[in-house]
Amino acid sequence: MKTLKYLFLSVLFISVGAFSQEQDKPTREQGHTNNNKFKQLYDEFSTPNMFRTASGAPGPSYYQQQADYKMDIVLDDKNAKISGNETITYSNNSPDQLKYLWVQLDQNMRARDSKTPLIEGGGFAPAQQASSFASTYMTEGFDGGFKIQEVKETNGKDLPYMINQTMMRVELPKALNPGEKFSFTIKWWYNINNHQKDRGRSGYEYFPEDGNRAYVIAQFYPRMAVYNDVEGWQNSQFWGRDEFALPFGNFEVNITVPADHILDATGKLTNRKEVFTKEMMKRYEKAKKSYDKPVLIVTQEEAEAAEKGFSNKTKTWKLYAENVRDFGFATSRKFIWDMMAVKVGDKDVMAVSMYPKEGNPLWEEWSTYAVATTLETYSRMTFQYPYHKAISVHAKQQGMEYPMICWNYGRPDENGKYSDRTKYGMISVIIHEVGHNYFPMIVNSDERQWTWMDEGLNTFLQYVTEQDFGELYPAALSPGHDKYPSSRGPAANIVPYMGGDQNFIAPIMTKGLNTYQFGNNAYGKPATALNILRETVMGRELFDYAFREYSHRWMFKHPTPEDFFRTMEDASAFDLDWYWRGWFYTTDYVDIGVKDVKKYFVSSEPNEYAKNMAKRYGMELSDLPPLVFMVEEGSEEFNEELKNGTLLDNSTPLKEYVMDNFTEAERQNIKAPKYFYNVTFDKPGGLVMPIIVEYTYADGTSKTEHYPAQIWRLNDKEVSKSVASDKEIVKITVDPNLETADVDTSNNSWPREVQQSDFDKFKEEVKE
Ligand SMILES: [Zn+2]
């Protein structure tokens, strides 16, 4: 009986530990369901199936639809109209029979009867852009909707269709069975919007000085909606914010524009010799071998001469693109054009920039280098860039992406002068939009539903690329900057948002249309979350491997958020459900502090705790197993023992005291800590995070410890850590390098750093 008690008692002492952890026990007033922050995400995630596996990879029955397009497009520059004749061939690779097809008519967002303006609440903005005020309140509004002239079978028979805002349902003559294809044609035109006046992600900019327009054209043709195992038809309306969901396909596009225009687009130019001059061909051949600097295909001088042309003749540019989800093009007689070759893996890719003279000198200086760096960094972090070119087009106030081509802002003033803000803004937006080739153009997530899946992942890699760019091109950095000043990515930059008014914050896992502070929600916070995951939680090696695995698994496929979350865990053995839950499903923030530090001493005398335990189990103190007793500095026991001389406050007696427990060999290596601390961390913030602690010692040295987030698994409010040290600790700092986005750092150090009050500061300033 006694042996049993003895055993039980020692187990009890061991499990309770040297320091009492009573305060680690949560207090609960009533029953509760499992709301532990480390609970797995079974309730939030859908059940894995044959389409999508539990590991986050495409399953054995994964399928995706295909939409191939053949289009003849004509740009009417005089009237700013565009018309098209397109044939769509739709392949039903799903196991389902389809009675109808859904086609997206995004331009209907700017139709006269568009419902987009009707869902904007909030009344008058106190200040608004004069141009948008005028077009909203002082005109009848721009008529930019699609004019659908025909929808026909390839044999010329009309197909019944119905248009609901930005979605068009096309009835099939007979149901489309799994494995079957269906071809049909659509004839359409619309008025092109002035994107400066009527906004929008595409359109034209008008240059009154020379009477020209520069066009950046996208969402310009009726596009197939996505049909998949997750949504069925993704036919959620385009209200103007949530971007697009598109299937992959092959595009054969002929674009007819004025003969003196310069044009670039998604796809391979298949009639280069017809549309290039001999001089342009020569320069192009040179650019293909120029790896260190861009070669001008069209010079500024030539572009300025062309501005005066206004040719009545036309030219047709023919393009072919394989396995892309969309098609865009830019055309104008104002364009200067440069190109540079980039080695990406075993392939040469062309980095391309196209800009009116108004973009110079900034654009000729940095655009193509920014494109090249993006291809290099993203290819290293994900997969080798699969296309043959990446184009950055300058369009005022635009930042928008399409396969192989994107529009970017960043314009000097009329004298060619530009601020740091304009320069960095331009480089950053180019990196961002070119980066979108990877997410969502190739890793083809559903932008209509999940803005963060492309914007967040892309903004994270934008940050990594910006840092690379700063190292590769120090000449691009302004005086006083030793690295690229990224605005999104560093943990500290998201603090004002995450620590802000909870009434205006939505979880990342919210459809873009329904979020407040869109930029912070869908770009800044997920990008920062991934950066913190990489730098602070998982470490670069584990994170990068898993991130690359996700990119490869879903390259040219359609992933969901769960596919990303699951893959990151599957490839790293890192349980991240707590991280996804906190950062992506809630609006909680990080706030961890040091609450209290107590110094402990080892005593040879049984302390109160031991005496009480022995009494409770009916044992004599002499029956106790060899135990080390801890007493808190300043406690009654402590004062008494200090008086009695029973404190083992020096390493030698302590060593001797425990010697019996060690073999001869072990005794050689025995450590002799002299200082014992009970450090209590508290967590006013809702997010569980690793505790990063810097311990500074009396001799001026310091040591940093990372306690994994799981330290919070049993108590979400506060935890205590026992610390044994050879050296006296004089300072403890939580998150010393500001890498966790802790919203309140006033509680991050011990002893508390006295915060100077504003009044004190004021007094000091007055004194000066
Ligand atoms: Zn973006």
pLDDT band for 757, please (50, 70, 90 cuts).
low
424 C-alpha vs ligand 1 centroid, how far in Å? 16
Mode of pairing for the β-strands spanning 98-104 and 167-176? antiparallel
Whether residue 14 is predicted with pLDDT greater than 70 in this model: the reply is: no
How many angstroms is it from 528 CA to the middle of ligand 1?
Answer: 15
* pLDDT the model gives residue 602: 85
C-alpha of residue 351 to centroid of ligand 1, in Å: 19
Q: Provide the phi-psi class of 480: left if phi over 0, else alpha when psi is between -120 and 50, else beta.
A: left
| Span from the CA of 400 to the centroid of ligand 1 (angstroms) | 7
CA of 454 to the centre of ligand 1 (A): 7
Rounded distance from Cα 331 to ligand 1 centre (Å): 22
Cα of 260 vs centre of ligand 1, distance in Å, is 32
**433 CA distance to ligand 1 centroid (A)?**
6
For position 29, what pLDDT does the model report? 72
**Ligand 1 center to residue 401 CA distance, Å?**
7
pLDDT for res 137: 81
Please tell me whether the overall predicted TM-score, pTM, comes out greater than 0.85 for this model.
yes
Query: How far, in Å, from the CA of 398 to the mean position of ligand 1?
Result: 11
Q: What is the chain's alpha carbon radius of gyration, rounded to the nearest angstrom?
A: 33
Say how many Å lie between the CA of residue 451 and the centre of ligand 1.
Answer: 9
Give pLDDT tens digits for 247-271: 999 999 999 999 999 999 999 999 9
Backbone angles phi, psi at 4, to 5 degrees: -60, -45
Cβ pair 715, 26 in contact under 8 A: yes
Q: Please tell me the distance between residue 735's alpha carbon and the centre of ligand 1 in angstroms.
A: 30
> Between 768 and 268, where is the model more confident?
268
Q: Output the CA 718–ligand 1 centroid distance in Å.
A: 39
Q: From ligand 1's centre to the CA of 409, what distance in Å?
A: 13
In Å, how far are 299, 681, 693, 695 from 701, measured between CA atoms?
Answer: 60, 22, 14, 9
**What pLDDT sits at residue 241?**
84
**Ligand 1 centre and the CA of 592: distance in Å?**
32
For 670: left if phi > 0, alpha if psi spans -120 to 50, otherwise beta; the answer is beta
pLDDT tens for 462-518 read: 999 999 999 999 999 999 999 999 999 999 999 999 999 999 999 999 998 888 898
Say if residue 707's pLDDT is above 50: yes
The alpha carbon of 524 and the centre of ligand 1 are apart by a number of angstroms equal to: 11
Please give the Cα distance from 215 to 196 (Å, whole number): 12
CA distance 371 to 377: 10
Which sign, positive or negative, has the C-alpha torsion 49, 52, 56, 58?
positive
Residue 345 region by backbone torsions, left for phi larger than 0, else alpha for psi between -120 and 50, else beta: left
Four-residue CA torsion sign, 150, 154, 157, 159:
negative
Q: How far is the CA of 105 from the centre of ligand 1 (A)?
A: 21
Least confident of 206-215, 640-649, 756-765: 756-765
